[in-house]
Amino acid sequence: MSETFGQALRRLRGNRSLRDVAELASCGKSYVSYLESGERSPTPDIAATLDRALGGEGLLVALAQQRPGTGVLDQVDLLQRGLTEALAAGPMTEAGLDEWDFTVARHGRATRYRPEGELLPELVSDFQDLRLLLNHRHPAAARKTLTIAAARLAGLMALTLLKLGDDRSRAWWRTGRAAASAAEDRATLSWIYAQEAYERYYSGDLLGAVELAARAQQLAGGLPCVGPALAAPLEARAHAVLGAREESAAALHAAETALERLPATEQIGSAFGYSESQLRFHSGNAWTHLGETTRAAEEHARALELYPAADRTDRALIRLDQAMCLATDGDPAGAAALATQTVVGLPDQHRSSLIIYRAWDVAAKVPEARAVTEVRVLREVLALPAGERGGNSEDREGD
């Protein structure tokens, strides 16, 4: 990154005091400070005077000409931050709490259709504002609401990092659990444990996934909330990978019950919801791992009927499960062709590490068929750098 006028001025000033530089330039000490911080832009005359006085050899003049609007834009940023901090110090109103509820819910819905790379900076920005609020004193009820919002945003941060393949997600699960515990919100704590169980599952820690899924269900107790609805099918999938059919079937039954008890307002397309489309997908995945391809196919078909086209990640994972079933049924060429079509048909920003991980599972399912053209093509596609796997960045259906 090129040096700014303020950075160059600080460097050239060296050990001189602000007062000494101000005297050399015949200006005020505070003005020099503003120039260094970027809160003010230099006039051409001031830039030339400072350049001569400090031996800049034309650098300060060039930077002043190159970035004439930087000082104003920096003032815009400083003003925004200052106002945010001032508002955070004020009393928390009902309208303000409602706005945070809406913000968190909006981020939860966005996880179903927006790529993680777009979501992450927005989550970071909102979390910074929420942290400012939590640094101040609030009535107990307001602080509890804000702490729950922090727990949920922490869970979304972890989930987003998980999908990006970044192991910093685990620290965010801890932060989310701590916030939910501080708020004494069992439903949110159950949800965080359920979501964290997914990370353990995809990292290959199947017993850890079962443990956290069971913890999520135990924490919820009799509450009709999202945690058990998320956790039970994940437990079923982990048992299925371990080959424990009876345990998997029992967990799927528990998942059906949890979904039936879930209020309609939470059977939605959101990280904070759970729906029949997700249950069909997860059930199909469990039966896929158990090798019961007929039952899996029924669940896959129903899931694809229910999922909106915008939910690219889960639809792609369902297609990869279908490919896995083809491999199980002895059709390696068909399996590889469907997996390749699924990966290539996704826009670049939706080809998350999770998608590629599952596609490699399909390729690994038929190691003896590496000479099959379709299998070879799949392996070649997956071995390419992320931006070279074909397809394009335009929205299109991968069916």
CATH code for the domain in which residue 15 is found:
1.10.260
Task: Confirm if 127 and 73 have CB atoms less than 8 A apart.
Answer: no
For the residues of 299-349, what is the DSSP string, one character each? Answer: HHHHHHHHS-TT-HHHHHHHHHHHHHHHHHTT-HHHHHHHHHHHHHTS-GG
Q: Evaluate whether residue 61 is within a structural domain.
A: yes
Q: Evaluate whether residue 268 is within a structural domain.
A: yes
Are 112 and 157 part of one and the same domain? yes
Residue 72: the pLDDT is 64
Residue 75: the pLDDT is 65
Q: Evaluate whether residue 282 is within a structural domain.
A: yes
CA neighbor of 173 nearest in space, from 203, 134, 218: 203
Helix (H, G, I), strand (E, B) or coil at 92: coil
CB neighbour list of residue 12: distance below 8 Å, 6 or more residues apart: 50, 54, 55, 56, 59, 60
Residue 369: the pLDDT is 67
Are 324 and 382 part of one and the same domain? yes
Residue 203: the pLDDT is 87
Q: Which residue range forms the structural domain that includes residue 169?
A: 96-184
Are 207 and 296 part of one and the same domain? yes
CA neighbor of 321 nearest in space, from 287, 276, 371: 287
Q: Evaluate whether residue 189 is within a structural domain.
A: no
Total domains in the chain come to 4
Residue 291: the pLDDT is 94
Are 230 and 210 part of one and the same domain? yes
Are 209 and 287 part of one and the same domain? yes
Q: Evaluate whether residue 114 is within a structural domain.
A: yes
Residue 351: the pLDDT is 77
Q: Evaluate whether residue 358 is within a structural domain.
A: yes
Are 157 and 217 part of one and the same domain? no
Are 299 and 205 part of one and the same domain? yes
Residue 366: the pLDDT is 74
Last residue of one domain, picked from the residues 85, 119, 135: 85
Q: Evaluate whether residue 381 is within a structural domain.
A: yes
Are 223 and 156 part of one and the same domain? no
Last residue of one domain, picked from the residues 159, 184, 209: 184
Q: Evaluate whether residue 90 is within a structural domain.
A: no
**Going residue by residue through the chain (399 aa), what tens digit of pLDDT does each one get?**
467 888 889 899 888 888 888 888 777 777 788 788 877 778 787 888 888 889 888 888 888 876 544 456 666 666 777 777 777 777 888 999 999 999 999 999 998 888 888 889 899 989 988 988 998 888 999 999 999 999 999 999 999 998 888 888 999 999 999 999 999 999 999 999 999 999 999 888 999 999 999 999 999 988 899 999 999 999 999 999 999 999 999 999 999 999 999 999 999 989 999 999 999 999 999 999 999 999 999 999 999 999 988 888 889 999 999 999 999 999 988 888 998 888 888 887 777 777 888 888 888 887 666 667 887 788 887 776 665 555 543 333 333
Are 231 and 283 part of one and the same domain? yes
Residue 68: the pLDDT is 47
Last residue of one domain, picked from the residues 58, 85, 112: 85
Residue 1: the pLDDT is 45
